[in-house]
Amino acid sequence: LCDRCTRFADQVAGDSLIHFIDRGNKTQVNTYPDQPFSSYFSGNTVQICPVGALTAAPFRFKARPWDLTEVESTSTFDSVGNRISVQESRDEVLRFTGVDSDSVNWGWLTDKERFIFESYSNENRLVEPLITNEFAVDEKNQFVVTSWSEAYEKCLTALTETTPERIAVIGGSRLTNEAQYVWSKITKGIIGTDNVDSQLDDGFSPEVLLSLNPSTIDETCKPGGVIILLGADPKEELGTLYLRVRHAIVHDQCKLIELTPTKTGLSKLATYSIRIPPGKTFEAVKALSGQSCELDEEIHKEIKGAGKIINDSDSVSVLLGRTSLAETSSILENGAITLQEYLPEASFLPLLRRGNINGAIDMGLSPGLLPGRCNLEEGSEELKNRWPALPSSKGFKTREILEAATNGQIDVLILLASDPLMDFPDSQLVEQALERIGTVIAVDIFTTDSVRHADIVLPAATTTEVDGTFTNLEGRVSPIRRSVTPPGTARPDWMIALDLVQYFNPELGPFTFKELCEEISIVSEMHKDLDLTKLEQMDKEGVVLKRSLQTAQTTSVKIPKQKVNSFRLITTRSMYDKGVLAAHSSALKGLASGSQIKANPEDMKKIGVNSESPVRLIGSKGEIQARLTPDPDTISGTIHVLWNQEGPDIRKLIDSSLPVNDLKIEKK
Instruction: Answer whether 316's CB lies under 8 Å from 299's CB.
Output: no
Question: Across-strand partners of 92?
Answer: 89
CA distance 379 to 233: 37
SS3 state of residue 183: helix
CA distance 235 to 414: 33
Question: Across-strand partners of 659?
Answer: none
pLDDT at 138: 65
User: Can you spell out the DSSP letters for 453-518?
Assistant: G-SEEEEB--GGG--EEEE-TTSEEEEE---SPPSTT-B-HHHHHHHHHHHH-TTT---SHHHHHH
Top-confidence residue, 66 or 265: 265
Instruction: Count CB neighbours of 461 within 10 A.
Output: 23
On the question of pLDDT at 465 being above 80, the answer is yes
557-571 residue pLDDT tens: 999 999 989 999 999
Cis geometry, peptide bond prior to residue 486 (ω within 30 degrees of 0)? no
SS3 state of residue 347: strand
What's the per-residue H, E or C state across 210-236? CCCCECCHHHHCCCCCEEEEECCCHHH
Question: Across-strand partners of 479?
Answer: 469
Surface-to-core class of residue 512, CB atoms within 10 Å of its CB (0-12 exposed, 13-18 middle, 19+ buried): exposed
CA distance 483 to 474: 26
pLDDT at 540: 75
pLDDT tier, 209 (very low <50, low <70, confident <90, very high otherwise): very high
Top-confidence residue, 392 or 538: 392
How is the chain split into domains, by residue range?
4-121, 130-203+358-529, 206-350, 566-667
| ∠ CA 612-615-620, rounded to 5° | 155
| ∠ CA 336-338-344, rounded to 5° | 90
Q: Which of 348, 326, 327, 245 is nearest to 283 (CA)?
A: 327
User: Can you spell out the DSSP letters for 542-578?
Assistant: -EEPP------------PPPPPTTEEEEEEE--SS-S
On the question of pLDDT at 368 being above 70, the answer is yes
| ∠ CA 498-445-541, rounded to 5° | 75
24-47 residue pLDDT tens: 888 888 888 888 888 999 999 999
CA distance 560 to 660: 8
191, amino acid identity:
I
CA distance 551 to 208: 8
pLDDT at 325: 94
Instruction: Answer whether 398's CB lies under 8 Å from 173's CB.
Output: no
Percentage of the chain surpassing pLDDT 90? Answer: 81
CB contact set of 48 (below 8 Å; sequence gap of 6+): 4, 5, 8
CA distance 378 to 91: 45
CA distance 285 to 333: 11
98-152 residue pLDDT tens: 999 999 999 999 999 999 999 999 999 999 999 998 766 566 678 999 999 999 9
On the question of pLDDT at 537 being above 80, the answer is no
495-520 residue pLDDT tens: 999 999 999 998 888 889 999 999 99
CA distance 7 to 39: 14
Q: Are strands 130-132 and 92-98 parallel, antiparallel or unpaired?
A: unpaired
CA distance 95 to 68: 9
Please give the CATH topology (third level) of the domain spanning 130-203+358-529.
Rossmann fold (3.40.50)
On the question of pLDDT at 547 being above 80, the answer is no
User: Can you spell out the DSSP letters for 412-444?
Assistant: EEEEES--HHHHSS-HHHHHHHHHH-SEEEEEE
Mean pLDDT of 469-475: 95
- What is the residue-averaged pLDDT of the chain? 93
What does the buried/exposed string (b/e) look like for 313-324 if buried means 16 or more CB atoms within 10 Å of the residue's CB? bebbbbbbbbbb
Percentage of the chain surpassing pLDDT 70? Answer: 98
Query: Which strand (E) or helix (H) includes residue 622?
Result: strand 622-630
pLDDT tier, 418 (very low <50, low <70, confident <90, very high otherwise): very high
pLDDT at 535: 63
Kindly report the length of the chain: 668
What does the buried/exposed string (b/e) look like for 423-451 if buried means 16 or more CB atoms within 10 Å of the residue's CB? bbbbbbbbbebbebbebbbbbbbbbbbbb
* pTM of structure: 0.94
Q: In the CATH scheme, what is the code of domain 206-350? A: 3.40.228.10
CA distance 163 to 519: 27
On the question of pLDDT at 536 being above 80, the answer is no
Instruction: Answer whether 50's CB lies under 8 Å from 24's CB.
Output: no
Q: Identical fold at 4-121 and 566-667?
A: no
Mean pLDDT of 623-638: 95
Q: DSSP label at 635? A: P
Top-confidence residue, 601 or 294: 601
SS3 state of residue 392: coil
Q: Which CATH architecture has domain 566-667?
A: Beta Barrel (2.40)
Q: List Cα–Cα distances, 592 to 38, 258, 641, in angstroms.
A: 12, 26, 13
Instruction: Answer whether 483's CB lies under 8 Å from 361's CB.
Output: no
What's the per-residue H, E or C state across 63-131? CCHHHCEEEEEECCCECCCCEEEEEEECCEEEEEEECCCCCCCCCCCCHHHHHHHHHHHCCCCCCCCEE
Query: Which strand (E) or helix (H) includes residue 149?
Result: helix 148-160
Q: Which of 433, 1, 25, 2 is nearest to 195 (CA)?
A: 433
SS3 state of residue 290: coil
178-201 residue pLDDT tens: 999 999 999 999 999 999 999 999
CA distance 3 to 60: 22
Q: List Cα–Cα distances, 361 to 263, 353, 367, in angstroms.
A: 30, 13, 9
Q: Which of 61, 5, 60, 4 is nearest to 31 (CA)?
A: 5
Instruction: Answer whether 587's CB lies under 8 Å from 118's CB.
Output: yes
CB contact set of 105 (below 8 Å; sequence gap of 6+): 80, 82, 83, 98, 99, 240, 243, 244
Mean pLDDT of 379-403: 93
pLDDT at 378: 85
> What number of helices (H) and strands (E) belong to the chain?
21, 28
CA distance 664 to 237: 29
Please give the CATH topology (third level) of the domain spanning 4-121.
Phosphorylase Kinase; domain 1 (3.30.200)
CA distance 157 to 152: 9
147-166 residue pLDDT tens: 999 999 999 999 999 999 99
